[in-house]
Structure 1
């Protein structure tokens, strides 16, 4: 029987963490496995969410079944893939009738806050002690959780891959200076940009608000050339910064831990202290003054960094991971149970 993998997310909203689960669902489908992308709740009618407009999904995801949790028919041999820690509790309840708590989970760790007892009502921290298979998207995430995970042989690193085709835009030396920011997590960038709305050196100021459509977001990235990043104090990755790099923009950003994955501060981006509006504005002024020289070189380096982080490497690494962890029966090839006789022979204890 073909292995079945269920990729579980809270909703079909097109946010970064959920979009990455969809990438992994596509990876699994490309390996020939049966794949279900299951949403605890479908908020968009008739699968119209911008989530399913991702180029990678449109290219390779035609064989994936998308459903709400209420439509899922659990099987005890499913391989269950999730990211939000508290989804584990929901999945245990969904599968209780068919498998009890004897389930095969893969937990994708996307955030350096996973060991923080305040994150996800503490469920995240408590879950780290459970013997699950885990994949970390960056070294920073792995370093953050490793002290709290006992079964470290099941803790793996697969570097984050980026679906950059939707935003890819080579920077040009004579690009107009256009400030771009979003208000997804705070209004900080709006306060930073307010001083430049009438500045003669700035062509325009663009704002992406919550609920922006996929097409509108792509247009914003295409038009912008300086991205005012406003991550949370602690991020798993902070995808907008990487998207802006792929769009050829100069990013101005604080150290949010997870963004060290792609930020070489002072080389391919400008670092500012968290929440310091004056520092952001000083960085913008520097970029304007050095737009065709140092700032342009920084934009090129950011673009080159993003181009090195495509999805193909992530797909190959995940495909190898699945082949190593799961035999055709669904049991790990590396951790398969040995008979007592095999075990004694292995340790040199079998005589005669």
Structure 2
């Protein structure tokens, strides 16, 4: 059995940690590969850490010898260099979860010339890094998958909230939009602080529509896909990485990231006739079903079985 050694610096729960947890479990599900993971000294061990109840797989980075592959994020290249077994014979799987990897002003850009098998969570990320002309090694697109159960039409809890504003990354803008969109009788809930994922998904399930306020650029933006799965109308601005699955007029509203456009598109979503809303929601469910976690697992395990040829 071959071992894949992961590395994370977990201080606050973020989407990047969740996706690495998914990939860790993909390896765990394989009969041919075994995962191990090391953490930084500053890692926080609490209920938000997905590996809290998987401590038997945690190892010391420097003392765990002879891994068959490294699995790292874009900022963890110094850890590869520090490993006693690092060298040209051990493949490096580098997950790339943001279009910012192609930004020459950030530290991760300098690592694009390092040889790696780069796993991009969207075609937009792959395009961004490839267009730099610096990438050394194959670039593989595995679109993000979700394990959120798809809620059939007419099923699930009562929609107690008309509009959920997801503003953990943009709380000030969220407050502005909550005021702009307030109407008599309209039930609006603003999420401006981070919360555990189970609580967040429960809020999504209770919402008729969700207005997302991500960073101005993202590599994918999984919460919008999760909202499609649970049957909430999605209003999510164009943040580059969501262009492949947030499709205006088909399964979502995708305005330009500007206050007036966000207000206008959200009002349009809330005013949709029932038949049009049902059609948009059904297309959203189909999009979520096409991005299931099992599909992501199959693609990644196929890559692992061909890692020597790719390397």
Report the TM-score, using the length of structure 1 for normalisation. Answer: 0.78
Unaligned runs of 5+ in 2: none
Contact residue 174 and residue 192 of structure 2 kept, 8 A? no
C-alpha root-mean-square deviation of aligned residues, in Å?
Answer: 2.6
Tell me, in whole angstroms, the C-alpha distance in 1 between the residues paired with 2:310 and 2:94.
19
2:175 to 190, 201, 210: 190
Tell me, in whole angstroms, the C-alpha distance in 2 between the residues paired with 1:306 and 1:100.
38
Tell me, in whole angstroms, the C-alpha distance in 1 between the residues paired with 2:163 and 2:127.
34
Give the superposition deviation at 1:12. 5.8
Tell me, in whole angstroms, the C-alpha distance in 2 between the residues paired with 1:248 and 1:318.
28
* Residue of structure 1 equivalent to 2:77: 88
Measured at CA, do residues 72 and 226 of structure 1 come closer, stay the same or move farther in structure 2, by a change above 3 Å? farther
Measured at CA, do residues 128 and 334 of structure 1 come closer, stay the same or move farther in structure 2, by a change above 3 Å? closer
User: What do the CA deviations read for 1:84-141 (whole angstroms, capped 9, x no partner)?
Assistant: x221113322x1xx2355553110111112110123xx2x211111111211122111
* Residue of structure 2 equivalent to 1:273: 256
Tell me, in whole angstroms, the C-alpha distance in 2 between the residues paired with 1:199 and 1:64.
54
* Residue of structure 2 equivalent to 1:324: 306
* Residue of structure 2 equivalent to 1:163: 147
3-state SS of the aligned residue for 2:218? coil
Give the superposition deviation at 1:164. 1.7
Tell me, in whole angstroms, the C-alpha distance in 1 between the residues paired with 2:177 and 2:25.
38
Measured at CA, do residues 210 and 219 of structure 1 come closer, stay the same or move farther in structure 2, by a change above 3 Å? same
- Corresponding position: 1:263 with 2:264: no
Unaligned runs of 5+ in 1: 326-331, 336-352
Greater C-alpha Rg: 1
Q: Which has the higher helix share?
A: 1
The 5-angstrom pairing of residues 61-76 of structure 1 reads 65-66=57-58, 73-76=63-66
Give the superposition deviation at 1:257. 0.8
3-state SS of the aligned residue for 1:245? helix
* Residue of structure 1 equivalent to 2:220: 237
* Residue of structure 1 equivalent to 2:44: 43
- Corresponding position: 1:205 with 2:188: yes
Report the TM-score, using the length of structure 2 for normalisation. Answer: 0.87
3-state SS of the aligned residue for 2:165? strand
- Corresponding position: 1:220 with 2:219: no
Tell me, in whole angstroms, the C-alpha distance in 1 between the residues paired with 2:198 and 2:227.
15
Tell me, in whole angstroms, the C-alpha distance in 1 between the residues paired with 2:102 and 2:288.
28
* Residue of structure 1 equivalent to 2:115: 131
Contact residue 219 and residue 242 of structure 2 kept, 8 A? yes
Contact residue 11 and residue 42 of structure 1 kept, 8 A? yes
Measured at CA, do residues 334 and 274 of structure 1 come closer, stay the same or move farther in structure 2, by a change above 3 Å? closer
* Residue of structure 1 equivalent to 2:229: 246
Contact residue 37 and residue 64 of structure 1 kept, 8 A? no
3-state SS of the aligned residue for 1:260? coil
* Residue of structure 1 equivalent to 2:163: 179
Contact residue 233 and residue 252 of structure 2 kept, 8 A? yes
- Corresponding position: 1:112 with 2:99: yes
- Corresponding position: 1:13 with 2:5: no
Give the superposition deviation at 1:213. 2.3
Contact residue 178 and residue 190 of structure 2 kept, 8 A? no
User: What do the CA deviations read for 1:239-289 (whole angstroms, capped 9, x no partner)?
Assistant: 22111111211111221110012111122111222132x322222322332
Tell me, in whole angstroms, the C-alpha distance in 1 between the residues paired with 2:163 and 2:4.
42
- Corresponding position: 1:294 with 2:276: yes
Question: Which 4+ runs in 1 deviate beyond 6 A?
Answer: none
Give the superposition deviation at 1:334. 6.1
